[in-house]
Amino acid sequence: MHDQLRIVLVGTQHPGNIGSAARAMKTMGLGRLVLVSPQRFPHPEAVALAAGAADVLDNAVVHERLEDALADCSLVVATTARRRTVPIPEYSPREAALRLVQEQASGQVALVFGRERTGLENEELQLCHASVSIPANPDYSSLNLAAAVQVLAYELRVAALEHAPAEADRATTIDELPASHEQLEAFFAHLAELLREIDFHKGKTPDIVLQRLRRLFQRARPDPRELRILRGIFSDTQRLLRKPSDS
Binding residues for ligand SAH, per CB under 6 A? Answer: 79-82, 113-114, 116, 118-120, 133-134, 136, 141-143, 145, 148
Residues 6+ apart with CB under 8 A from 143: 81, 134, 136, 151
Whichever of 31 and 119 has its CB closer to ligand SAH, that residue is 119
- Which of 143, 158, 155, 154 lies closest to 113, judged by CA? 143
Min. distance of Cβ 131 from ligand SAH in angstroms? 8
Residue type, 35: L
Nearest approach, Cβ of residue 228 and ligand SAH (Å): 47
**Contact of 84 with 122, CB cutoff 8 Å:** yes
CB of 148 to ligand SAH, least distance (A): 3
CA distance 46 to 12: 11
Q: Which helix or strand (DSSP H or E) is residue 79 part of?
A: strand 73-79
Q: Are strands 90-91 and 5-10 parallel, antiparallel or unpaired?
A: unpaired
Pick the closer one to ligand SAH by CB: 39 or 237: 39
For residue 214, the minimal CB distance to ligand SAH (Å) is: 43
